[in-house]
Chain A
Amino acid sequence: MMSEVLSDRPTTSRTSALSARPSGPEPVLRVQNLEVTYYTDAGRAKALDDVSFTLSAGEKLGMVGESGSGKSTLALAMMRMIKPPGRIEAGRVIVGDTDLTGLDDDAMRKARLSKIAYIPQGAMNSLNPVMRIGAQMVDAVKSHMNGESRSSIGDRCAHALKSVDLDASVFRMYAHELSGGMKQRVCIAIGILLNPQVIIADEPTSALDVVTQRQVMETIDRVQKEINAAVILIGHDMGLMAQFVDKVAVMYAGRLVEVSTVREMFTDPKHPYARALISSLPNLDNKGVFQGIPGLAPSLLRLPTGCAFHPRCTHAMDICGTTRPEVRMLASGRVVTCHLFNEEA
């Protein structure tokens, strides 16, 4: 039913402009005009507003923003795991040549893990404590591949464990016998069991210390190369982004405010919010300088008029308080949502 509604929706010229971005090979993931609303007692909160981007195989995209900016909602929406009171209002998520928003529930269940996999935030809480790791992995394979022989399922699991650098004995263990980093790597192993084309990692290292964090990120990097998947890394640690991703997307109040390559983002951020994010970063050269971003993230229930960032923006102009900036692609191929760049587009 949803697909009918969606296919009637005219694709705006903006969308085609965005997907025509010169990013080399055919994109493996296309997100178009995705919109999610939560219907709460206090009113409607638009958690995702007109989000579009594309990603090619083997590309790594970092999705950054403050808590409440819609990062995790985006991940859940792409997996179609938004639960009421949330609803996907519009938009499409296309992986390869399958439109996920058009699938029925059963087909979507099959698509999860085999086309698009999700590595959750708290690995400590996402494994079943009373099932062996192996049983959970076998479960995942069985529900997608009917009639697969036991030995081939076993091989598949053993291979996945090996690619995340875990010992085969982990297969027989319970979650409580593993350290935080090992649990997170089990989650990665489950995520890559069926060689998905897209992997979404939602703050996969937020609870881990630096050494384990590096280990986990290196693991994701390696398996991603092995199966040539596109990866979306969600987080708010810009340092991690600098070390890991190719492209960075910055979210603010449910909208993408800038999408740039990691080099452009760190050397020449365009959107004032992205600039503030970059300059608030601690580095070795600016010891003792603390530059936060003044003000607070707006509540999605009461978004400011015009650009949602304008009350905190140091470059705010009159137009920012009245008119919502459009998503624009600059000549350089970067995407910025800000009135400052109206002429450059």
Chain B
Amino acid sequence: MANLLELKNVSKVYSRGLINTKATIALQDISLTLRENEPTILTVAGESGSGKTTLAMLLLGFTTPTTGQIIYRGKNITTLHGKQRMAFRREVQAVFQDPFAVFNPFYTVDHLLTVPIRRFKLAKSRADARNRMDEALTAVGLRPEDVLGRFPHQLSGGQRQRINVARALLLKPRLLIADEPVSMVDASLRANILETLRNLQRDHGVSIIYITHDLTTAYHISKSIIVLYRGAVMEAGDIDTVIKSPRHPYTQLLVDSIPWPNLEKRWGVQPIKARDSGASTEGCRFRSRCPMAMEICKTPPPLFRIDAHHTASCYLYAEQPQVAPDHLSELLPA
């Protein structure tokens, strides 16, 4: 089966300074495959500085990987030109975090929808364009007459974020990169947007990469998860297994810190070690904060296979068989 998207050993290093160059490894040796005919929702989770937004920027082709390749439908995205590049731009869409920052306040919201229609010549006539807009807005649960012709400041955050999803939908994408789409939206509106995203995957066959630090919403919409910490994969697998029985100490800390709206399920008692910004990048990246750190953790841990759909990069599971990094996606259920 053809692959929609393939990341081959992708790393991204940001360096700064002219003489004493300091390198920050934002993403280290990530391999990942999304198949063409199996639309899925994959969560990439991690705290700030874990490399999740770098991953989004790479996938959208806004930055280029330092090493490794990103292959979209058989073509390396850094070498796309002309028609192919236009097709890539149309088929891979993004929804960003801040629904307030993406709108130009001087235009009505129609602008955000008409520009892509014109740019990609999606409509034959004005009426056709209007129909497509109405269709996309209805699909995300908005009434076209409520939002068309309005200025961004006249709409709520939830409405704006849904217009962003509608814009993505209009272009009939194959892949949607959603970078924290609900973190700035009121809790009561989150459900609507998440449901919209899930319907997009279920009814329109769009694969979604859902980037977030919020494991609660991730749990509800996605099938599989990759947990990143400072650019490296800590744990990955089926979302139910990872959230309900996390194996890596970092994932355990994350899951422990979710404020569940449940009085019987209190926050964990495990004390939190502060993140040491100057910690070395040698070995396991979580070592300086890990309550279980051992001597062996000074060498980088490989991925260990815990079961068919669960893997963790931690020496606590060293007796398990290893997983080569480029076989990671075989463990993710579609």
Residues of A at under 8 Å CB distance from B?
A: 66-67, 179-180, 208-215, 217-218, 236-244, 262-263, 266-267, 276-278, 280-284, 287-293, 296-297
CB atoms of B220 and A288 under 8 A apart: yes
List residues of chain A with CB within 8 A of the CB of B263. Answer: 242, 262-263, 266-267
Considering only CB atoms, which chain B residue lies closest to A243 in the complex? B259
Supposing A210-B215, A239-B259, A283-B262 touch, asked if A277 and B47 sit within 8 A by C-beta, the answer is: no
Is B187 interfacial (CB 8 A cutoff)?
Answer: yes
Residue from A211, A238, A287 within 8 A of B187 (CB atoms): A238
CB atoms of A293 and B188 under 8 A apart: yes
Considering only CB atoms, which chain A residue lies closest to B266 in the complex? A243
CB atoms of A242 and B262 under 8 A apart: yes
Residue from B158, B194, B240, B253 within 8 A of A290 (CB atoms): B194
List 27 A-B residue pairs with CB atoms under 8 Å apart, sorted by A's residue number.
A66-B186, A66-B189, A179-B275, A209-B47, A209-B48, A211-B272, A212-B47, A214-B256, A217-B259, A239-B216, A239-B259, A239-B261, A240-B259, A242-B259, A242-B261, A242-B263, A243-B266, A280-B188, A282-B216, A284-B219, A284-B260, A284-B262, A287-B219, A287-B220, A288-B220, A290-B194, A292-B189
How far apart sit A291 and B256, CA to CA, in the bound complex (Å)? Answer: 25
How far apart sit A248 and B110, CA to CA, in the bound complex (Å)? Answer: 40
CB atoms of B259 and A237 under 8 A apart: yes
> What is the number of residues of chain B that contact chain A, defined by CB distance less than 8 Å?
44
Residue from B156, B191, B261 within 8 A of A291 (CB atoms): B191
Is B254 interfacial (CB 8 A cutoff)?
Answer: yes
CB atoms of B215 and A179 under 8 A apart: no
Chain B proximity of A189: nearest CB distance (Å): 15
Chain B proximity of A291: nearest CB distance (Å): 6
How far apart sit A81 and B293, CA to CA, in the bound complex (Å)? Answer: 49
CB atoms of A266 and B261 under 8 A apart: yes
How far apart sit A280 and B182, CA to CA, in the bound complex (Å)? Answer: 14
Considering only CB atoms, which chain B residue lies closest to A212 in the complex? B47
CB atoms of B215 and A292 under 8 A apart: no
Supposing A179-B277, A242-B260, A242-B261 touch, asked if A236 and B267 sit within 8 A by C-beta, the answer is: no
How far apart sit A292 and B192, CA to CA, in the bound complex (Å)? Answer: 6
List residues of chain A with CB within 8 A of the CB of B275. Answer: 179
Supposing A210-B47, A210-B213, A237-B187 touch, asked if A290 and B192 sit within 8 A by C-beta, the answer is: yes
Q: Which of B207-261 contact A (CB under 8 A)?
A: 213-217, 219-221, 240, 243-244, 253-254, 256-261
How far apart sit A179 and B240, CA to CA, in the bound complex (Å)? Answer: 32
How far apart sit A278 and B257, CA to CA, in the bound complex (Å)? Answer: 20
Considering only CB atoms, which chain B residue lies closest to A279 in the complex? B191
List residues of chain A with CB within 8 A of the CB of B213. Answer: 209-210
List residues of chain A with CB within 8 A of the CB of B258. Answer: 210, 239
Is B205 interfacial (CB 8 A cutoff)?
Answer: no
Q: For A277, A282, A288, A289, which residue has the most chain B Cβ atoms within 10 angstroms?
A: A282
Considering only CB atoms, which chain A residue lies closest to B187 in the complex? A236
CB atoms of B220 and A243 under 8 A apart: no
Given contacts A180-B48, A243-B259, A278-B261, 7 further A-B contacts (CB under 8 A): A218-B272, A242-B262, A263-B263, A266-B262, A281-B187, A292-B189, A296-B159
Is B195 interfacial (CB 8 A cutoff)?
Answer: yes
List residues of chain A with CB within 8 A of the CB of B220. Answer: 282, 287-290
How far apart sit A280 and B156, CA to CA, in the bound complex (Å)? Answer: 19
List residues of chain B with CB within 8 A of the CB of A208. Answer: 48
Residue from B157, B195, B272 within 8 A of A214 (CB atoms): B272
Q: For B186, B188, B258, B272, which residue has the most chain A Cβ atoms within 10 angstroms?
A: B188
CB atoms of A281 and B254 under 8 A apart: no
Q: For B194, B243, B244, B260, which residue has the most chain A Cβ atoms within 10 angstroms?
A: B260
How far apart sit A45 and B233, CA to CA, in the bound complex (Å)? Answer: 50
Chain A proximity of B186: nearest CB distance (Å): 5
CB atoms of A67 and B215 under 8 A apart: no
Supposing A239-B261, A263-B263 touch, asked if A282 and B47 sit within 8 A by C-beta, the answer is: no
List residues of chain B with CB within 8 A of the CB of A287. Answer: 219-220, 240
Considering only CB atoms, which chain B residue lies closest to A241 in the complex? B261
Residue from B187, B189, B259, B262 within 8 A of A213 (CB atoms): B259
CB atoms of B257 and A214 under 8 A apart: yes
**Per-residue CB proximity of B28-62 to A under 8 Å, as 1/0?**
00000000000000000001100000000000000
CB atoms of B187 and A280 under 8 A apart: yes
How far apart sit A266 and B272, CA to CA, in the bound complex (Å)? Answer: 28
CB atoms of B257 and A211 under 8 A apart: yes
CB atoms of A276 and B188 under 8 A apart: yes
Chain B proximity of A293: nearest CB distance (Å): 5
CB atoms of B47 and A211 under 8 A apart: yes
Considering only CB atoms, which chain A residue lies closest to B258 in the complex? A210
Considering only CB atoms, which chain A residue lies closest to B243 in the complex? A284
List residues of chain B with CB within 8 A of the CB of A212. Answer: 47-48
CB atoms of A282 and B219 under 8 A apart: yes
Chain A proximity of B198: nearest CB distance (Å): 8
